[in-house]
Amino acid sequence: MAQLIIFATLIALGYFFGKLAESRHYQSIKQREAELLELPTTSSKQPMGEAPVMKSHLVQGSVVISVDYFKRIVAGLRSFFGGSVQSYETLLDRARREAIVRLKESCPQADQIINLRLETSSISKGEGNNVGSVEVLAYGTAIYFAEQG
């Protein structure tokens, strides 16, 4: 019985604090994405448009986000029955967007970012197959056009 109570408490804590952290993070992401909207970003290998390029360099942004207890339990139940693991979807969505936002923030003066790539890796806590945290790395090339005139 004590085990069940501890379990329920952990789940409740994970749920409420996880939800809080998630909604605050999403607010921050949406706000910064809106600010950086002016910086075009593509996965193409060529710069968009015909303007001469003055300089270019590698840029990257990365973030590590951890899973909370509630998400882990729900994912465990999912592994029993199969289907889309909703609880991890928001986790990865946030991580991807945060990584891209950080990449853009690292080069505010750039005119374009091309060749955008994303890499995801799991940082397991050593507890078998459980994913402890997830790291997303976004990298690309920042392009600066030559000044006209």
Partner 1 sequence: MPEHNDNVSHEHPFKEFVILAVGLSVVVAVIFVVLGLLVDFAVDKVTPELEAKLFSGMSFEQVPLTDDDPMQAQLQTLTDGLMACMDVGYPVRVQVAESDEVNAFAFVGGKIVVYRGLLDAVNTESGLAFVLAHELAHFIHRDHLRGMGRGLVLATLSALMTGADSGISQLLAPAQSIGMARFSRQQESAADAAALKALNCRYGEVTGATELFEVLQASKGESEFKLAYLLASHPSLGDRIAELNKLATELGYRSKD
- Contacting positions for partner 1 (CB under 8 A): 1, 3-4, 7, 11, 15, 19, 30, 33-34, 37, 70-74, 76-81, 84, 86-87, 89-90, 93, 96, 128
Cβ of residue 94: shortest distance to partner 1, in angstroms? Answer: 9
Cβ of residue 90: shortest distance to partner 1, in angstroms? Answer: 5
53 vs 74, beta carbon nearer partner 1: 74
Cβ of residue 89: shortest distance to partner 1, in angstroms? Answer: 5
In degrees, rounded to 5, the angle at the alpha carbon of residue 10 between the alpha carbons of residues 7 and 26 is: 140
56 vs 90, beta carbon nearer partner 1: 90
In b/e form, how buried is each residue of 48-73, taking b as 16+ CB within 10 angstroms?
eeeeeeeebeebebebebebbbbbbb
39 vs 53, beta carbon nearer partner 1: 39
Sign of the C-alpha dihedral computed for residues 122, 125, 128 and 133 taken in this order: negative
Cβ of residue 35: shortest distance to partner 1, in angstroms? Answer: 11
Please name the residue that has the structure tokens 């360099």. Answer: 57
53 vs 118, beta carbon nearer partner 1: 118
DSSP, res 128? T
